[in-house]
Amino acid sequence: AMGCVVAMAVRMDELRAKWESDGEEPFAIRCGLHSGEVVAGNVGLAGKKMEYTVIGDTVNLASRLEGTAKYYGITYLVGEATYSSARDICRYRELDKIRVVGKQLPVTIYEPQVGAGALSGSELERFDSALQLYRMRRWDEARSIFQKLAIALPQDKPTQLYIERCDYFIEH
């Protein structure tokens, strides 16, 4: 599945370049990916509405990750089970720990670094350093690093979100 995400990112970069050169409006995609057990098969009532689908906690979390990607302004978002299973496919940026509806424990979420928007190794290291400071409640130090990253990455919404969070915690 992560190999597919990498292939999708490469192909979308090619299509965006083509659409831009043709003067066409490009569109965007998002993907939430989580790994685990699912129930797969025909669901429904025979003769009425029957369709092949997958159901279960893994599917629900993947769907929530797709929606969460929009909040962070990113294209691809994976849960920790996928990250653990596919670390060698690409680099990842740890984004946050979120708590989804119906779950007690938070889930660590990661952004695969694929396609044209991938961060460099040094940008990933700086983001991770700032994230660690943020988690230690060292808001001023974290904000300083996030602010420097924002200059280098003005379109990076996760960096902007963490600056806003730091500002809030500094003030309150």
- Amino acid in position 115: G
pLDDT 10s digits, 85-112: 999 999 999 999 999 887 788 999 999 9
Give ∠ CA 93-107-92 in degrees, rounded to 5: 15
User: Residue written as tokens 């969460």?
Assistant: 68
114: helix, strand or coil: coil
Q: Report the candidate in 111, 158, 108, 166 with the shortest Cα–Cα distance to residue 133.
A: 166
pLDDT 10s digits, 11-39: 999 999 999 999 998 888 899 999 999 98
Band of the pLDDT at 113, cuts 50, 70, 90?
Answer: very high
Reply yes or no on whether the pLDDT at 77 is more than 80: yes
Band of the pLDDT at 82, cuts 50, 70, 90?
Answer: very high
pLDDT 10s digits, 126-150: 999 999 999 999 999 999 999 999 9
Mean pLDDT of the chain: 93
